Structure 1
Amino acid sequence: MKNSLLIFGAFVLLGTWLPKQAEAQVAARDTADLTNNFYDNETVMPLPMVTLSVDGEIANPGVVDFSKLPIHSVIVKETKLNPDGSNTFEGAYRYDGYSLFDILNKVKLQKKNGKDFAPIIDLYIEVSNDKGEKVILSWGELYYPNNLQNIIIANAVMRIVPSKTMELWPLPETSKLVVPLDLLTARNISNPSKITIRSIDATFKVQKGLSPMFSESFKLTAENGKEVVIKEISKELSKITYHSIFYGRGRGIHSTTPFTGYVLKEVMEPYYTLAKENIQHGLFVFAGFDGYRVAMTYAELFNRNDQAEFLLLNDQSDKDGGCFKIFPACDFFSDRAVKSLKEVRFERR
C-alpha cells in the first residue's frame, strides 16, 4: 500500500513539472502504403517537452499553456553545417508540435521604441534553452510569410524513410525548435525553454511621409565591422523577375506589376561568411532614407530552401522611392519592402 502511494505521489509531482500539452493527435500508421501520403508510413515517437516561458517587450509575460494550442505538422531535411564549411545530412523527418505563431499570438506587444517607430516589422525573438543555446527569428518569419504556422516546437517526430534504401535516421530524444525553411538546420535547437521578444536596438531619424525621396547609394556594415558604400551592382550578377501581387497590411493592394532586381544575398555575399554563428545569431537592419526600418535574420536571407528570395531593385528613374529598394518575395504583405535604402547594419544577437 505504501509503495502504491509513493508511486502515485511521484506521478502527481512529475505532472507539476511538465508543461500542459494538447491531447496527442496520432495519425494512423500506413504500413502498407495504401494512401498517397508519404508522411504517415512510420511510427510517431513522442518527444518530452520542458516548460516554456515568454518575456521581453510585452505586457503579459508568463508560461505557455500548450493544452490550448493546436498541433501542426512540418517536414524537414535536417543538415548540419560543419566547421570547415561543408555539411552533413542527418535525416528526413516529420515533426508535430506547436507553432510559434500560435504560442505568441496573444502576447501584448510593448515595444521599447514604440514612440519613435510604431510598426512591428523591426521586432525579432530569441529562442533559448537551459544549455545556453540561443537562436533568433524575425517577426517577419513568424507573422508575414506566405506560408504560416511552419515554425514549431516539436513534441513528436517520425522518420521519413526512403522506400528503397530503408535508412533509419537517428531520432531526437527531446523536444526541439524546428524551422523548416532553413537549408542548414542550425536553428533547430533542443528543449527550447524561453522566448524573448525584442525590437532592434538601432536609431534612425524618422521622416514619415517624406516625398520626394531618393537615395543614390546605401551604406553597409560588413561582418568585420567595416563600412562599405554600395552605389553600383557588380556586372557579374544577373537580374531576375518575380511576378507578384503586391499587397500591404494597411493600404491593401499596391500593384500587380512584376518586380525585377538582383538577388539580395548575392549582392551582400562578399561581406558575410556562411557560419553557424551567423545562422543562429545574425541580424540585419535595413533602413530607408525616411527612417523606415525592418529586421531580417541572416538565416532568412542567406539560408533559405524555398528559393523565395529577397530582391534588391535598382531603379535610377524612380525619384520618389529609388534608387535602391528591397522586395520581400517570401512575404504575404509588402510591409518589409524598404524604399530608398540608405543603410544596412549587421550584428550578432
Structure 2
Amino acid sequence: MLGFGLCRAAERRISISGSVRHPLEVTQAMLEKLAAAEVHLNEICTDGEFRGVFKLLGVPLRDILSLSGIEKKHTDFDSPVDLAVRVTSSNGQSVVLSWGELYYKSTAEVIVAISAHPIFPNKSIDKFKDKDAYHHMMDILKREIRFPKLVVPSDRYADRSIEAITAIEVVDRCSDVGADPSPEPYSPQVTVGGEGRQPVTFEDFSEGEFITATVHVVGDGKGYHGTHTYSGIPLKTVIEQARVKADVNTVFIVSAPDAHRVLVSWGELFLNPHGDRIILARKEDGKPITRNGKFILIPADDLMADRQVKSVKCIEAVSMESGNQ
C-alpha cells in the first residue's frame, strides 16, 4: 500500500546548459507546474543495494529540455541524434543519457521527480521471520529522498536514478568528420574502439548470436517506410566482445562512411530492456544486407527510425563523466 509520508523537494534549482537555445535555471515552482508523470520505481542497483520502492511524481526530462530548446552549434551534422544529455547531482555524481532514448521513447521513460510515496509491504512484522531485515527495509522506505531526483523507471537496475540533481547539460561530443562523397558509401566491416582501447575489427558475426526484430519504420522526414524484419547481433554483445570498459557516463557513437552518426548511451544498452533490441542487422526481411554496407544499426524499440545507421563502419566509446570533456 502507499505510505502516507509524502517526501517533497526542497527549493532547489536546476541549470540547463550546453547545446541549447536558451540556457536557464529551472525552479521548484516551475517543476510543480509541469509535473504530470507518475512512475513506479523498484530502486535496486547493480551492486545489490536496495534503496526502496516508491511511487514518484515528476516531469518528463524532455519536457524540461523543451523549455530551453535544443540547438546544435559549429557542426557539419544538423541532426540531434548524436547528442548526449548529462545530468549531475550536488555531490558531483553524473549519468549520461542519449537524445534518442529521451525523444524516441514514451514521455515517462525518464523523469525528474519532485515528490514520492514509499510503498510499504502489506504484511505486518509478525509475518517476517527475520525481524532485523524487516526493520532495515522499513528504515530504507522511510528515508529522506533528496529531490529533484532523476528517475529511469524502466531500467532493470537503478544506477541512473540519482538524487539532488543540480545540472542538466546537452553535450555535442562529435567532432566534424570527413564524409565519403560517393552516392552509396560502403563499409565491409565494423571497428569498435575508443577510450584508449586497441580497436577491434569485425568482418562478420555468428548467426547463432542473432536475434530478430520486426520494426515499423517511421521517420521524421518521409513518414512510414513499411514494416520490416531485421536479424542481427545485439550491439551490446559486440561491445562486450570488444572488451570495452564502460559505465553510466559512457556513450557509443555509431557512424557510417558518409559521416551519418548516432549516439547510444551505456545505460540504455546495459541497464534498460530496450537495449536488448538495439542490433547490428545483417539481414532484412530474411535476405542478407548487401547494399549500403554489411551492417545496419536498428534501435528496434525507437518510436522513430532516425537513429538507424546504414553501412555502420565505426563504434566509438566515449567517456562523458563530469570534467572529462
Please classify the TM superposition score into its range, dividing by the shorter chain length. 0.7 to 0.9
Q: d(CA) in 1 for partners of 2:69 and 2:155? A: 28
Over 3 Å counting, the alpha-carbon distance change for 1:78 and 1:306 in structure 2 is farther
Over 3 Å counting, the alpha-carbon distance change for 1:243 and 1:201 in structure 2 is closer
Q: Structure 2-normalised TM-score? A: 0.84
Which residue of the partner structure matches residue 88 of structure 2? 128
- Could you list the per-position Cα deviations for residues 241-284 of structure 1 after superposition, in whole angstroms to 9, with x for gaps in the alignment? 2122111111111121222222221222133467xxx3321111
Q: d(CA) in 1 for partners of 2:267 and 2:237? A: 14
Does the alignment pair 1:213 with 2:181? no
Q: d(CA) in 2 for partners of 1:72 and 1:88? A: 26
Over 3 Å counting, the alpha-carbon distance change for 1:74 and 1:279 in structure 2 is farther
| One-letter amino acid of the counterpart of residue 139, structure 1 | W
> RCO greater where, 1 or 2, for CA within 8 Å and sep 6 or more?
2
- 1:308 Cα deviation after fit: 5.2
What is the SS of the residue equivalent to 1:174?
coil
Contact 2:194 2:318 in 1 (8 A): no
Q: d(CA) in 2 for partners of 1:165 and 1:253? A: 54
CA RMSD of aligned residues (A): 2.4
Q: d(CA) in 2 for partners of 1:163 and 1:157? A: 18
Aligned counterpart in structure 2 of residue 140 of structure 1, from 97, 100, 123 = 100
Contact 1:222 1:228 in 2 (8 A): no
Structure 2: state its 5+ residue gaps: 126-136, 321-325
Structure 1: state its 5+ residue gaps: 1-30, 32-39
What is the SS of the residue equivalent to 1:214?
coil
Aligned counterpart in structure 2 of residue 296 of structure 1, from 246, 264, 289 = 264
- Could you list the per-position Cα deviations for residues 60-119 of structure 1 after superposition, in whole angstroms to 9, with x for gaps in the alignment? 11111324413311111112233xxxx3333222111122111111323331244x1111
Q: d(CA) in 1 for partners of 2:39 and 2:11? A: 18
Which residue of the partner structure matches residue 103 of structure 1? 64
What is the SS of the residue equivalent to 2:116?
strand
- 1:165 Cα deviation after fit: 6.9
Structure showing greater radius of gyration is 1
Contact 1:187 1:279 in 2 (8 A): no
- 1:190 Cα deviation after fit: 1.3
Aligned counterpart in structure 2 of residue 339 of structure 1, from 307, 310, 319 = 310
Which residue of the partner structure matches residue 312 of structure 1? 280
Q: d(CA) in 2 for partners of 1:223 and 1:101? A: 29
Q: Which moved more, 1:157-166 or 1:194-203?
A: 157-166
| One-letter amino acid of the counterpart of residue 161, structure 1 | F
What is the SS of the residue equivalent to 1:55?
strand
- 1:45 Cα deviation after fit: 2.6
Identity of aligned residues (%): 27
Which residue of the partner structure matches residue 34 of structure 1? none
Which residue of the partner structure matches residue 115 of structure 2? 156
Which residue of the partner structure matches residue 220 of structure 2? 249
Over 3 Å counting, the alpha-carbon distance change for 1:305 and 1:288 in structure 2 is same
Which residue of the partner structure matches residue 210 of structure 2? 239
Higher helix share: 2
Does the alignment pair 1:77 with 2:42? yes
Q: d(CA) in 1 for partners of 2:259 and 2:124? A: 55
Q: Which moved more, 1:223-232 or 1:279-288?
A: 223-232
Which residue of the partner structure matches residue 12 of structure 2? 50
Which residue of the partner structure matches residue 262 of structure 1? 233
- The count of corresponding residues between Structure 1 and Structure 2 is 300
Q: d(CA) in 1 for partners of 2:275 and 2:98? A: 18
Q: d(CA) in 2 for partners of 1:272 and 1:182? A: 23
| One-letter amino acid of the counterpart of residue 115, structure 2 | A
Which residue of the partner structure matches residue 285 of structure 1? 253
Q: d(CA) in 2 for partners of 1:200 and 1:44? A: 39
